[in-house]
Chains A and B, each alone.
Chain A
Protein backbone atom coordinates (compact mmCIF):
# COMPACT_ATOMS: atom_id res chain seq x y z
CA UNK A 1 0.00 0.00 0.00
CA UNK A 2 1.45 3.41 -0.90
CA UNK A 3 1.98 5.98 1.82
CA UNK A 4 -0.67 8.36 0.46
CA UNK A 5 -3.38 5.70 0.28
CA UNK A 6 -6.58 6.49 2.14
CA UNK A 7 -7.68 2.87 2.11
CA UNK A 8 -8.17 1.50 5.62
CA UNK A 9 -5.96 -1.47 6.42
CA UNK A 10 -7.87 -4.76 6.40
CA UNK A 11 -9.32 -5.64 9.79
CA UNK A 12 -8.06 -8.64 11.75
CA UNK A 13 -11.12 -10.78 10.93
CA UNK A 14 -10.71 -9.88 7.24
CA UNK A 15 -7.12 -11.11 7.28
CA UNK A 16 -8.04 -14.26 9.19
CA UNK A 17 -10.84 -15.32 6.86
CA UNK A 18 -8.73 -14.59 3.77
CA UNK A 19 -5.95 -16.80 5.14
CA UNK A 20 -8.38 -19.60 5.97
CA UNK A 21 -10.03 -19.34 2.56
CA UNK A 22 -6.68 -19.54 0.79
CA UNK A 23 -5.43 -22.48 2.82
CA UNK A 24 -8.67 -24.43 2.41
CA UNK A 25 -8.72 -23.74 -1.33
CA UNK A 26 -5.14 -24.96 -1.72
CA UNK A 27 -6.04 -28.08 0.24
CA UNK A 28 -8.99 -28.75 -2.03
CA UNK A 29 -11.56 -28.36 0.76
CA UNK A 30 -13.27 -25.30 -0.69
CA UNK A 31 -14.61 -25.95 -4.19
CA UNK A 32 -14.12 -23.06 -6.61
CA UNK A 33 -17.16 -20.82 -6.70
CA UNK A 34 -18.87 -22.41 -3.68
CA UNK A 35 -18.53 -19.33 -1.48
CA UNK A 36 -19.77 -16.99 -4.21
CA UNK A 37 -22.80 -19.19 -4.99
CA UNK A 38 -23.82 -19.23 -1.35
CA UNK A 39 -23.25 -15.54 -0.72
CA UNK A 40 -25.13 -14.68 -3.89
CA UNK A 41 -28.14 -16.70 -2.72
CA UNK A 42 -28.15 -14.95 0.64
CA UNK A 43 -27.75 -11.52 -0.92
CA UNK A 44 -30.09 -11.86 -3.86
CA UNK A 45 -32.38 -14.86 -3.52
CA UNK A 46 -33.31 -15.38 0.13
CA UNK A 47 -35.17 -12.50 1.68
CA UNK A 48 -38.45 -11.37 3.23
CA UNK A 49 -39.97 -10.71 -0.20
CA UNK A 50 -40.32 -14.48 -0.56
CA UNK A 51 -42.11 -14.73 2.76
CA UNK A 52 -44.34 -11.79 1.82
CA UNK A 53 -45.45 -13.50 -1.40
CA UNK A 54 -46.28 -16.65 0.55
CA UNK A 55 -48.33 -14.66 3.07
CA UNK A 56 -50.17 -12.74 0.35
CA UNK A 57 -51.09 -15.96 -1.42
CA UNK A 58 -52.28 -17.52 1.84
CA UNK A 59 -54.47 -14.44 2.42
CA UNK A 60 -56.11 -14.66 -0.99
CA UNK A 61 -56.21 -18.36 -1.69
CA UNK A 62 -57.91 -20.59 0.88
CA UNK A 63 -56.61 -23.84 -0.56
CA UNK A 64 -53.04 -22.50 -0.61
CA UNK A 65 -53.42 -21.43 3.02
CA UNK A 66 -54.57 -24.94 3.91
CA UNK A 67 -51.62 -26.50 2.08
CA UNK A 68 -49.20 -24.04 3.73
CA UNK A 69 -50.42 -24.89 7.22
CA UNK A 70 -50.41 -28.64 6.51
CA UNK A 71 -47.04 -28.91 4.72
CA UNK A 72 -45.13 -25.64 4.61
CA UNK A 73 -42.02 -26.76 2.65
CA UNK A 74 -44.22 -28.20 -0.09
CA UNK A 75 -46.43 -25.09 -0.31
CA UNK A 76 -43.44 -22.72 -0.09
CA UNK A 77 -41.85 -24.71 -2.92
CA UNK A 78 -44.70 -23.72 -5.22
CA UNK A 79 -42.76 -20.49 -5.79
CA UNK A 80 -39.91 -22.51 -7.31
CA UNK A 81 -36.49 -23.82 -6.31
CA UNK A 82 -32.95 -22.88 -7.20
CA UNK A 83 -31.17 -25.04 -9.76
CA UNK A 84 -28.21 -25.26 -7.39
CA UNK A 85 -28.77 -28.41 -5.28
CA UNK A 86 -27.28 -26.89 -2.12
CA UNK A 87 -29.38 -23.75 -2.36
CA UNK A 88 -32.46 -25.84 -3.16
CA UNK A 89 -31.76 -27.90 -0.04
CA UNK A 90 -31.88 -24.75 2.09
CA UNK A 91 -35.15 -23.87 0.37
CA UNK A 92 -36.58 -27.21 1.47
CA UNK A 93 -35.84 -26.54 5.15
CA UNK A 94 -38.45 -28.26 7.36
CA UNK A 95 -40.74 -25.42 8.37
CA UNK A 96 -43.94 -24.98 10.34
CA UNK A 97 -46.23 -22.02 9.69
CA UNK A 98 -47.86 -20.43 12.74
CA UNK A 99 -51.19 -18.82 12.02
CA UNK A 100 -52.01 -15.63 13.92
CA UNK A 101 -55.68 -15.30 14.81
CA UNK A 102 -57.79 -12.83 16.75
CA UNK A 103 -57.10 -14.96 19.84
CA UNK A 104 -53.48 -16.05 19.34
CA UNK A 105 -50.37 -14.03 18.50
CA UNK A 106 -47.19 -15.97 17.63
CA UNK A 107 -43.59 -14.77 17.83
CA UNK A 108 -40.37 -16.65 17.04
CA UNK A 109 -36.94 -16.67 18.69
CA UNK A 110 -33.87 -18.86 19.05
CA UNK A 111 -32.65 -18.49 22.62
CA UNK A 112 -29.59 -20.74 22.13
CA UNK A 113 -28.17 -19.30 18.92
CA UNK A 114 -29.79 -17.69 15.88
CA UNK A 115 -32.05 -20.24 14.11
CA UNK A 116 -34.28 -18.41 11.64
CA UNK A 117 -36.24 -19.29 8.47
CA UNK A 118 -33.54 -18.00 6.07
CA UNK A 119 -35.17 -19.56 3.05
CA UNK A 120 -38.21 -17.32 3.34
CA UNK A 121 -36.94 -14.33 5.37
CA UNK A 122 -33.24 -14.09 4.45
CA UNK A 123 -30.59 -13.51 7.09
CA UNK A 124 -31.92 -12.27 10.43
CA UNK A 125 -31.42 -8.72 11.64
CA UNK A 126 -28.79 -8.20 14.33
CA UNK A 127 -31.34 -7.64 17.08
CA UNK A 128 -32.76 -11.13 16.50
CA UNK A 129 -29.32 -12.66 17.15
CA UNK A 130 -28.38 -10.40 20.07
CA UNK A 131 -28.70 -11.01 23.79
CA UNK A 132 -31.55 -8.61 24.67
CA UNK A 133 -34.14 -10.18 22.35
CA UNK A 134 -33.04 -13.78 22.88
CA UNK A 135 -32.99 -13.47 26.66
CA UNK A 136 -36.14 -11.44 27.16
CA UNK A 137 -38.77 -12.54 24.66
CA UNK A 138 -39.39 -15.86 26.42
CA UNK A 139 -39.79 -14.34 29.90
CA UNK A 140 -41.53 -11.05 29.05
CA UNK A 141 -42.90 -11.32 25.52
CA UNK A 142 -45.49 -8.58 25.95
CA UNK A 143 -42.88 -6.07 27.16
CA UNK A 144 -40.62 -6.97 24.25
CA UNK A 145 -43.44 -6.67 21.72
CA UNK A 146 -44.39 -3.31 23.26
CA UNK A 147 -40.82 -2.12 22.58
CA UNK A 148 -41.54 -2.85 18.93
CA UNK A 149 -44.73 -0.78 19.24
CA UNK A 150 -46.96 -3.85 19.31
CA UNK A 151 -49.36 -3.85 22.24
CA UNK A 152 -51.09 -7.23 22.41
CA UNK A 153 -54.54 -7.04 24.03
CA UNK A 154 -54.96 -8.92 27.32
CA UNK A 155 -57.44 -11.36 25.83
CA UNK A 156 -55.02 -12.45 23.11
CA UNK A 157 -52.69 -15.33 23.98
CA UNK A 158 -49.01 -14.81 23.16
CA UNK A 159 -47.15 -17.92 22.02
CA UNK A 160 -43.36 -17.71 21.87
CA UNK A 161 -41.71 -20.36 19.68
CA UNK A 162 -38.13 -21.14 20.66
CA UNK A 163 -36.69 -22.74 17.51
CA UNK A 164 -34.04 -24.91 19.10
CA UNK A 165 -34.11 -27.91 16.77
CA UNK A 166 -34.20 -28.55 13.02
CA UNK A 167 -37.68 -27.14 12.50
CA UNK A 168 -37.95 -23.50 11.52
CA UNK A 169 -41.01 -21.44 12.40
CA UNK A 170 -42.65 -18.74 10.33
CA UNK A 171 -45.54 -16.49 11.38
CA UNK A 172 -48.52 -16.04 9.09
CA UNK A 173 -49.72 -12.57 10.16
CA UNK A 174 -53.33 -11.42 10.18
CA UNK A 175 -54.59 -9.75 7.04
CA UNK A 176 -55.36 -6.16 7.98
CA UNK A 177 -58.79 -4.62 7.50
CA UNK A 178 -59.08 -2.25 4.56
CA UNK A 179 -57.34 -4.57 2.11
CA UNK A 180 -60.45 -6.16 0.64
CA UNK A 181 -60.13 -6.74 -3.08
CA UNK A 182 -56.39 -6.08 -3.18
CA UNK A 183 -54.24 -8.08 -5.59
CA UNK A 184 -51.76 -10.63 -4.29
CA UNK A 185 -48.93 -8.35 -5.37
CA UNK A 186 -50.30 -5.34 -3.55
CA UNK A 187 -50.90 -7.39 -0.43
CA UNK A 188 -47.32 -8.70 -0.53
CA UNK A 189 -46.08 -5.11 -0.47
CA UNK A 190 -47.47 -4.54 3.04
CA UNK A 191 -46.11 -7.77 4.56
CA UNK A 192 -43.02 -6.82 6.56
CA UNK A 193 -40.20 -9.02 7.78
CA UNK A 194 -41.09 -8.25 11.39
CA UNK A 195 -44.70 -9.30 10.86
CA UNK A 196 -43.42 -12.75 9.87
CA UNK A 197 -41.16 -12.88 12.95
CA UNK A 198 -44.15 -11.83 15.03
CA UNK A 199 -42.85 -8.51 16.35
CA UNK A 200 -45.19 -6.41 14.19
CA UNK A 201 -48.61 -6.45 12.59
CA UNK A 202 -49.33 -5.77 8.92
CA UNK A 203 -51.01 -2.44 8.20
CA UNK A 204 -53.07 -1.41 5.20
CA UNK A 205 -51.43 2.00 4.81
Chain B
Protein backbone atom coordinates (compact mmCIF):
# COMPACT_ATOMS: atom_id res chain seq x y z
CA UNK B 1 0.00 0.00 0.00
CA UNK B 2 1.31 3.42 -0.92
CA UNK B 3 0.83 4.77 2.60
CA UNK B 4 2.56 7.29 4.81
CA UNK B 5 4.51 4.47 6.50
CA UNK B 6 6.48 4.05 3.25
CA UNK B 7 8.55 7.15 3.88
CA UNK B 8 12.01 6.39 2.48
CA UNK B 9 13.13 9.44 0.49
CA UNK B 10 10.50 11.86 1.78
CA UNK B 11 11.80 15.30 2.64
CA UNK B 12 10.67 18.02 5.05
CA UNK B 13 10.09 15.57 7.90
CA UNK B 14 12.18 17.79 10.15
CA UNK B 15 15.37 17.31 12.15
CA UNK B 16 16.19 14.10 13.96
CA UNK B 17 15.30 14.60 17.61
CA UNK B 18 17.54 12.64 19.95
CA UNK B 19 16.27 12.32 23.52
CA UNK B 20 19.11 12.29 26.05
CA UNK B 21 19.01 9.32 28.47
CA UNK B 22 15.88 8.01 26.81
CA UNK B 23 14.03 5.47 28.99
CA UNK B 24 13.10 2.08 27.53
CA UNK B 25 9.41 2.98 27.91
CA UNK B 26 7.88 6.42 28.32
CA UNK B 27 4.78 5.19 30.18
CA UNK B 28 3.60 1.98 31.83
CA UNK B 29 1.00 1.38 29.15
CA UNK B 30 3.78 1.17 26.53
CA UNK B 31 5.31 -1.68 28.51
CA UNK B 32 1.97 -3.52 28.56
CA UNK B 33 1.41 -2.93 24.85
CA UNK B 34 4.80 -4.42 24.02
CA UNK B 35 4.23 -7.45 26.23
CA UNK B 36 0.72 -8.17 24.95
CA UNK B 37 1.82 -7.79 21.33
CA UNK B 38 4.69 -10.26 21.70
CA UNK B 39 2.58 -12.73 23.66
CA UNK B 40 -0.15 -12.69 21.00
CA UNK B 41 2.42 -13.02 18.26
CA UNK B 42 4.12 -15.96 19.92
CA UNK B 43 0.87 -17.80 20.55
CA UNK B 44 -0.17 -17.39 16.93
CA UNK B 45 -3.15 -15.07 17.45
CA UNK B 46 -1.77 -12.92 14.62
CA UNK B 47 1.48 -12.48 12.72
CA UNK B 48 3.74 -9.45 12.68
CA UNK B 49 2.83 -9.02 9.01
CA UNK B 50 -0.87 -8.73 9.83
CA UNK B 51 -0.07 -6.21 12.56
CA UNK B 52 2.04 -4.12 10.19
CA UNK B 53 -0.77 -4.07 7.64
CA UNK B 54 -3.25 -3.02 10.33
CA UNK B 55 -0.91 -0.17 11.32
CA UNK B 56 -0.50 0.87 7.69
CA UNK B 57 -4.26 1.35 7.49
CA UNK B 58 -4.31 3.92 10.32
CA UNK B 59 -5.21 7.46 9.21
CA UNK B 60 -1.95 9.07 7.99
CA UNK B 61 -2.14 12.19 10.17
CA UNK B 62 -2.69 10.04 13.24
CA UNK B 63 0.24 7.82 12.20
CA UNK B 64 2.57 10.82 12.06
CA UNK B 65 1.36 12.49 15.24
CA UNK B 66 0.85 9.61 17.66
CA UNK B 67 3.47 7.92 19.85
CA UNK B 68 4.99 4.74 18.48
CA UNK B 69 3.40 2.21 20.83
CA UNK B 70 -0.04 3.68 20.14
CA UNK B 71 0.40 2.36 16.57
CA UNK B 72 0.78 -1.12 18.01
CA UNK B 73 -2.24 -0.71 20.30
CA UNK B 74 -4.41 0.73 17.52
CA UNK B 75 -3.16 -2.01 15.21
CA UNK B 76 -3.87 -5.02 17.38
CA UNK B 77 -7.13 -3.62 18.73
CA UNK B 78 -8.32 -3.52 15.12
CA UNK B 79 -6.79 -6.88 14.24
CA UNK B 80 -8.26 -8.71 17.25
CA UNK B 81 -11.72 -7.59 16.14
CA UNK B 82 -11.11 -8.39 12.47
CA UNK B 83 -10.00 -11.88 13.40
CA UNK B 84 -12.92 -12.42 15.76
CA UNK B 85 -10.96 -12.67 19.01
CA UNK B 86 -12.64 -9.61 20.53
CA UNK B 87 -15.81 -7.71 19.70
CA UNK B 88 -16.49 -3.98 19.84
CA UNK B 89 -19.12 -4.73 22.49
CA UNK B 90 -16.55 -6.50 24.67
CA UNK B 91 -14.09 -3.64 24.31
CA UNK B 92 -16.79 -1.12 25.21
CA UNK B 93 -18.08 -2.99 28.27
CA UNK B 94 -15.00 -4.88 29.44
CA UNK B 95 -17.23 -7.97 29.78
CA UNK B 96 -16.51 -11.18 27.91
CA UNK B 97 -19.35 -11.85 25.48
CA UNK B 98 -18.48 -15.15 23.88
CA UNK B 99 -15.72 -17.69 24.16
CA UNK B 100 -13.26 -18.02 21.31
CA UNK B 101 -11.07 -20.90 20.23
CA UNK B 102 -7.33 -20.56 20.83
CA UNK B 103 -5.38 -20.18 17.57
CA UNK B 104 -4.38 -23.30 15.77
CA UNK B 105 -0.73 -23.87 15.05
CA UNK B 106 0.65 -21.98 12.12
CA UNK B 107 1.04 -23.96 8.92
CA UNK B 108 4.51 -24.82 7.72
CA UNK B 109 5.39 -22.59 4.76
CA UNK B 110 5.22 -24.13 1.32
CA UNK B 111 8.69 -24.52 -0.22
CA UNK B 112 9.77 -22.16 -2.99
CA UNK B 113 8.57 -23.23 -6.40
CA UNK B 114 11.89 -23.01 -8.21
CA UNK B 115 15.60 -22.68 -7.71
CA UNK B 116 16.79 -19.08 -7.25
CA UNK B 117 16.47 -17.18 -10.50
CA UNK B 118 19.31 -14.76 -9.70
CA UNK B 119 22.77 -14.89 -8.20
CA UNK B 120 25.26 -12.39 -6.81
CA UNK B 121 26.37 -9.95 -9.49
CA UNK B 122 23.17 -10.20 -11.55
CA UNK B 123 21.48 -6.98 -12.58
CA UNK B 124 17.84 -6.78 -11.52
CA UNK B 125 15.09 -4.20 -11.60
CA UNK B 126 12.53 -3.75 -8.83
CA UNK B 127 9.13 -4.19 -10.38
CA UNK B 128 6.81 -1.23 -10.63
CA UNK B 129 3.93 -2.66 -8.63
CA UNK B 130 1.43 -0.79 -6.49
CA UNK B 131 -0.53 -3.33 -4.44
CA UNK B 132 -3.30 -1.86 -2.30
CA UNK B 133 -2.40 -4.42 0.36
CA UNK B 134 0.72 -4.95 2.48
CA UNK B 135 4.07 -5.00 0.69
CA UNK B 136 7.70 -4.84 1.78
CA UNK B 137 8.74 -3.25 -1.51
CA UNK B 138 9.09 0.46 -0.77
CA UNK B 139 8.22 2.98 -3.45
CA UNK B 140 11.70 4.46 -3.62
CA UNK B 141 13.19 1.36 -5.29
CA UNK B 142 10.32 0.51 -7.66
CA UNK B 143 11.39 0.69 -11.28
CA UNK B 144 15.06 1.13 -10.28
CA UNK B 145 17.89 -1.17 -11.34
CA UNK B 146 20.35 -2.66 -8.91
CA UNK B 147 22.83 -5.48 -8.47
CA UNK B 148 22.27 -8.63 -6.47
CA UNK B 149 24.80 -8.52 -3.62
CA UNK B 150 23.88 -11.92 -2.18
CA UNK B 151 21.20 -14.55 -2.12
CA UNK B 152 19.67 -14.79 1.36
CA UNK B 153 17.86 -18.10 1.01
CA UNK B 154 14.10 -18.58 1.01
CA UNK B 155 11.87 -16.63 3.42
CA UNK B 156 8.11 -16.60 3.97
CA UNK B 157 6.36 -14.07 1.72
CA UNK B 158 5.17 -11.34 4.08
CA UNK B 159 2.72 -9.78 1.62
CA UNK B 160 0.64 -12.97 1.42
CA UNK B 161 0.71 -13.70 5.15
CA UNK B 162 -0.50 -10.17 5.88
CA UNK B 163 -3.63 -11.00 3.88
CA UNK B 164 -4.20 -14.19 5.83
CA UNK B 165 -2.91 -16.50 3.08
CA UNK B 166 -0.93 -19.61 3.95
CA UNK B 167 2.76 -18.88 4.08
CA UNK B 168 4.84 -19.52 1.00
CA UNK B 169 8.63 -19.37 0.84
CA UNK B 170 10.28 -17.18 -1.76
CA UNK B 171 13.91 -16.66 -2.62
CA UNK B 172 15.19 -13.36 -1.24
CA UNK B 173 18.11 -11.27 -2.44
CA UNK B 174 20.12 -8.49 -0.90
CA UNK B 175 20.12 -5.93 -3.70
CA UNK B 176 22.45 -2.95 -3.96
CA UNK B 177 21.06 0.23 -5.51
CA UNK B 178 23.51 3.00 -6.30
CA UNK B 179 22.46 6.33 -4.76
CA UNK B 180 22.61 7.94 -8.21
CA UNK B 181 20.12 5.38 -9.58
CA UNK B 182 17.68 6.10 -6.75
CA UNK B 183 18.11 9.82 -6.30
CA UNK B 184 19.76 11.16 -9.44
CA UNK B 185 23.10 12.67 -10.30
CA UNK B 186 23.24 15.07 -7.35
CA UNK B 187 23.42 12.29 -4.79
CA UNK B 188 26.67 10.91 -3.39
CA UNK B 189 28.38 9.15 -6.25
CA UNK B 190 29.94 6.37 -4.21
CA UNK B 191 27.04 5.71 -1.82
CA UNK B 192 24.45 2.95 -2.03
CA UNK B 193 21.32 1.52 -0.42
CA UNK B 194 21.00 -2.21 0.23
CA UNK B 195 17.57 -3.76 0.60
CA UNK B 196 16.21 -7.32 0.75
CA UNK B 197 13.84 -8.19 -2.07
CA UNK B 198 11.66 -11.24 -2.66
CA UNK B 199 12.03 -12.85 -6.06
CA UNK B 200 8.52 -11.72 -7.04
CA UNK B 201 9.65 -8.10 -6.48
CA UNK B 202 12.36 -8.20 -9.14
CA UNK B 203 12.94 -8.96 -12.81
CA UNK B 204 16.10 -9.24 -14.87
CA UNK B 205 17.47 -5.81 -15.87
Chain A residue contacts of B96, Cβ below 8 A: 23, 26-27
* Separation of A133 and B68 alpha carbons in the complex (Å): 14
**By the criterion CB–CB under 8 Å, are A17 and B193 in contact?**
no
Given A11-B29, A147-B16, do A30 and B36 touch, yes or no (CB 8 Å)? yes
Judged by a CB distance under 8 angstroms, whether B15 is at the interface is yes
* Separation of A11 and B136 alpha carbons in the complex (Å): 33
**By the criterion CB–CB under 8 Å, are A158 and B43 in contact?**
no
**By the criterion CB–CB under 8 Å, are B91 and A19 in contact?**
yes
* Separation of A117 and B69 alpha carbons in the complex (Å): 18
**By the criterion CB–CB under 8 Å, are B8 and A138 in contact?**
yes
By beta carbon, the residue of chain A nearest B98 is A27
**By the criterion CB–CB under 8 Å, are A157 and B191 in contact?**
yes
Judged by a CB distance under 8 angstroms, whether A189 is at the interface is no
* Separation of A139 and B179 alpha carbons in the complex (Å): 8
* Separation of A13 and B17 alpha carbons in the complex (Å): 24
- Pick the residue among A86, A111, A166 that contacts B42 (CB under 8 A): A86
**By the criterion CB–CB under 8 Å, are A20 and B9 in contact?**
no
Q: Mark B28-57, 1 if CB is under 8 A from A, else 0.
A: 110111111011101101000000100100
Q: Mark A1-44, 1 if CB is under 8 A from B, else 0.
A: 00000000011011011111111101111110011101100110
Which residues, 78 to 98 on B, are CB-close (under 8 Å) to A?
80, 85-86, 90-91, 94, 96
Judged by a CB distance under 8 angstroms, whether A114 is at the interface is yes
* Separation of A123 and B30 alpha carbons in the complex (Å): 12
Q: Mark A160-171, 1 if CB is under 8 A from B, else 0.
A: 111111110000
By beta carbon, the residue of chain A nearest B76 is A20
**By the criterion CB–CB under 8 Å, are A21 and B36 in contact?**
yes
Which residues, 53 to 73 on B, are CB-close (under 8 Å) to A?
55, 64, 68-70, 73
Interface centre among A89, A113, A127, A163 (most CB of B within 10 A): A113
**By the criterion CB–CB under 8 Å, are A13 and B152 in contact?**
no
* Separation of A96 and B152 alpha carbons in the complex (Å): 10
> Whole-angstrom distance from the CB of B154 to the nearest CB of chain A?
11
Which residues, 169 to 192 on B, are CB-close (under 8 Å) to A?
172, 174, 182-183, 187-188, 190-192
Judged by a CB distance under 8 angstroms, whether A159 is at the interface is yes
Judged by a CB distance under 8 angstroms, whether B108 is at the interface is no
Given A13-B29, A27-B96, do A127 and B18 touch, yes or no (CB 8 Å)? yes
Chain B residue contacts of A112, Cβ below 8 A: 5-6, 8, 52, 136, 138
Known: A109-B8, A111-B138, A132-B14. 17 other contacts (CB 8 A): A14-B28, A16-B77, A16-B91, A111-B8, A112-B52, A113-B55, A125-B19, A126-B68, A135-B10, A138-B9, A155-B190, A157-B190, A158-B192, A162-B8, A165-B152, A165-B172, A166-B196
Measured CB to CB, the residues of A under 8 A from B are 10-11, 13-14, 16-24, 26-31, 34-36, 38-39, 42-43, 86, 89, 109, 111-114, 122-123, 125-127, 129-136, 138-142, 144, 147-148, 155, 157-167
